[in-house]
Structure 1
């Protein structure tokens, strides 16, 4: 698959540099994806709209991911995987600079939709490239490194964007991400080995993978179940300010704490999914549910709210990483599409969580109600996963538990 030689022939230093370039790309995308949560009140004030209306920018980005992932993955099936990753990062950088110029909420929503289009394919194809670099046996490590960049963005990039949005205006946050995108583009061009598309890959073979009913069953479970985390995280800034009474100046610290949880969860999940993908998915659903219950019962106690947010960040990644691996396994002849569909599913969850959370706030249920909304979505997704597994014959279920690729 890779034209740069097998993983065994690729020196460890070059493997690490390639993964670092992918991680930088993940950092860039993670910064702008989650930065909107940290500058949501600034966008609302700057454009003269309500917080729930400003939340539509989050929904629009997520919908861009949902639309862009399968469409771009199918149309670019024959393109070099490493070349495609570079093109996607370039488009991402330009789109974020365009978002910074938006004069109204309507234009910003359009800009965020366009910025979301390359997101899912970048991570989907990046997972294939990373796997080609280090080998199938270390797939979990490769994916965790790339997505580790996304979660580290929540420790550094998102808090910084929140600070910039508060002191220099929300537009400046998108400008910084656009510039960072061009830096990531240069790293990807310089450090990635040449990785060819799957043998025989073409738009028809990619579309054929969409006929797999099991793929769509897991897509639906992820699209609903992961919405629980986003119902909370989309409104984390007003949650800690209005529910816990924390000052706006403390929000970057809260975002960094959430990001630390995501980062720790990402690398832990990478190790777990290399052992067993399906069991890691189940563990993620259960632990995320427990974390959301914890948030719902702690009231306005600041230390406990912070602990709950760290826990939600950690457990959510026990769900996100193995879901991507499982969807790749369920589309063995189109792994780029399967991985990209995972990000479509997760961003459908993002859109669901942000939209439903906005409704709960508009209906004046209070910000703590977001935890219970999140719990409901997570449990529903878990029920769908269990129903999916129960439908499998014993032999098929054993294959899934052992993470064997399926047709």
Structure 2
């Protein structure tokens, strides 16, 4: 093995695959810790809010949705803060610290006794989320080589999407059988295993020696960075308005037995896994075209789900397409952020997950408000459609600004420069 301090690390093909697998394992654990609450929300509501659950299960489920929002807000706070402050750290060391923090925060989520304390634990457990994906994406891009940036991002994200096929349904079943606290302990075990895998497999890579907090935070002075963040934050709210309440949607609207909720989650995960891999390839071809395409598919999928959720076939088809189209957007949004952030690549790679988790929080809050208002469990689907439409408008506006700048002779953000920084 040879290693360049200013370029990609050279490894054998087997070692490279092992390193990429270790990075994806972290995504698997993050997918489990973030999404397992969706399938166990009624169980958590009954345990943590017993009085409210006894008098109004719908209100208890809506209130328990704050567990999802607390995690999402932790990602929003932690991603830019950690990425900017630790950009100089050696990347492997930072990944190990973040995985240790995940393990501790998830164990606390499982063991703390009251609803407010669990909310606080979920917020703390989420702080490393965006920084992990950001740094892991930079390492994966370096390992993949030039021209495969979005595919490297997609490989790291594949752990998260595969978690929705295998991990989340399995852990949801475990939580239904043994209690939601046991489910979170299982998630903590995944993080511990990932820590060991990263320690053994991922090569040592230097951080950015020229990075400063001021330079990283300078990304926020770029208008197009704010457009890209808005695309992720608002557009992805469409996914999370649905996903946050998929368990009661399946049981109360479609009429499925609760034991079939993990099957619905598997379908969601299959869609997300396929969409993520296709989206990574198409984003390497054209960020703009792939973003337009998948926003259109997501909007159509939400309409399908809203109109056919009372039918099991409609539910399955709807969640499959919603999962696929939304996951396909993620590599394109991350690539867009890297393109427009200039030399603030560490924070750009992490900010994507802040944006997506603002969408997570926004979707969960608005969906919960609709349910609490008595509009039913299909209402979050229509809220999701409105959010998706707003995100697509932001995408069109952002690329239109680029075209206007080009016609006026104003220099465009340097995609080549951004990609070179990612390869470092």
Same structural fold, with TM-score higher than 0.5 when normalized by the shorter chain: yes
Q: Is the 8 A contact 2:72 2:126 kept in 1?
A: yes
- Which of 376, 380, 387 aligns to 1:377? It is 387
| Residues 401 and 267 of structure 1, relative CA distance in 2, 3 Å threshold | farther
Q: Does 1:331 align with 2:341?
A: yes
Question: Which runs of structure 2 are paired with 1:204-243 in the superposition (5 Å)?
Answer: 204-243=214-253
Tell me how many residue pairs correspond in the alignment.
Answer: 407
Aligned to 1:45: 46
Q: Does 1:259 align with 2:269?
A: yes
- Which of 132, 139, 143 aligns to 1:133? It is 143
* CA–CA distance in structure 2, aligned partners of residues 42 and 284 of structure 1: 34
* CA–CA distance in structure 1, aligned partners of residues 88 and 9 of structure 2: 25
Q: Does 1:313 align with 2:314?
A: no
Tell me the alpha carbon deviations over residues 205-246 of structure 1, each in whole angstroms, 9 at most, x when there is no partner. Answer: 212222212101211221111100000000000000000000
Aligned to 2:111: 101
Q: Does 1:387 align with 2:397?
A: yes
* SS state at 2:310 partner: coil
| Residues 2 and 111 of structure 1, relative CA distance in 2, 3 Å threshold | farther
Q: Is the 8 A contact 1:292 1:312 kept in 2?
A: yes
Aligned to 2:29: 28
1:74 Cα deviation (Å)?
1.2
- Which of 307, 323, 329 aligns to 1:297? It is 307
Tell me the alpha carbon deviations over residues 272-299 of structure 1, each in whole angstroms, 9 at most, x when there is no partner. Answer: 1111122212212111111101111114
- Which of 149, 159, 162 aligns to 2:159? It is 149
* SS state at 1:27 partner: helix
1:202 Cα deviation (Å)?
2.0
Q: Which runs of 5+ in 2 are unaligned?
A: 53-59, 420-424
Q: Is the 8 A contact 2:89 2:208 kept in 1?
A: no
Q: Does 1:117 align with 2:127?
A: yes
* CA–CA distance in structure 2, aligned partners of residues 231 and 208 of structure 1: 32
Q: Is the 8 A contact 2:9 2:203 kept in 1?
A: no
* SS state at 2:349 partner: helix
Aligned to 1:11: 12
Tell me the alpha carbon deviations over residues 119-171 of structure 1, each in whole angstroms, 9 at most, x when there is no partner. Answer: 00000111111111121311122111110000000011110121111111110
| Residues 401 and 288 of structure 1, relative CA distance in 2, 3 Å threshold | farther
Aligned to 2:260: 250
Q: Is the 8 A contact 1:276 1:401 kept in 2?
A: no
Aligned to 1:269: 279
* CA–CA distance in structure 1, aligned partners of residues 261 and 414 of structure 2: 42
Q: Is the 8 A contact 2:106 2:188 kept in 1?
A: yes
| Residues 36 and 400 of structure 1, relative CA distance in 2, 3 Å threshold | farther
Q: Is the 8 A contact 1:30 1:153 kept in 2?
A: yes
Q: Over aligned residues, Cα RMSD in angstroms?
A: 2.1
1:198 Cα deviation (Å)?
2.4
* CA–CA distance in structure 2, aligned partners of residues 351 and 125 of structure 1: 23
Q: Is the 8 A contact 1:277 1:401 kept in 2?
A: no
| Residues 181 and 406 of structure 1, relative CA distance in 2, 3 Å threshold | closer
Aligned to 1:170: 180
Question: Which runs of structure 2 are paired with 1:42-81 in the superposition (5 Å)?
Answer: 42-47=43-48, 48=50, 49=52, 50-81=60-91
Q: Is the 8 A contact 1:3 1:194 kept in 2?
A: no
Q: Is the 8 A contact 1:279 1:401 kept in 2?
A: no
1:10 Cα deviation (Å)?
2.5
* SS state at 2:221 partner: coil
* CA–CA distance in structure 2, aligned partners of residues 245 and 230 of structure 1: 21
1:55 Cα deviation (Å)?
0.5
* CA–CA distance in structure 1, aligned partners of residues 172 and 373 of structure 2: 27
| Residues 2 and 338 of structure 1, relative CA distance in 2, 3 Å threshold | farther
| Residues 341 and 103 of structure 1, relative CA distance in 2, 3 Å threshold | same
Aligned to 2:298: 288
Q: Which runs of 5+ in 1 are unaligned?
A: none
Which contiguous aligned blocks of 4+ residues in structure 1 show a shift greater than 6 angstroms?
Answer: 397-402
| Residues 400 and 158 of structure 1, relative CA distance in 2, 3 Å threshold | farther
Q: Is the 8 A contact 2:84 2:346 kept in 1?
A: no
1:204 Cα deviation (Å)?
2.1
Aligned to 1:194: 204
* CA–CA distance in structure 2, aligned partners of residues 250 and 405 of structure 1: 49
* SS state at 1:201 partner: coil
Q: Is the 8 A contact 2:340 2:414 kept in 1?
A: no
| Residues 380 and 125 of structure 1, relative CA distance in 2, 3 Å threshold | same
* SS state at 1:137 partner: coil
1:118 Cα deviation (Å)?
0.3
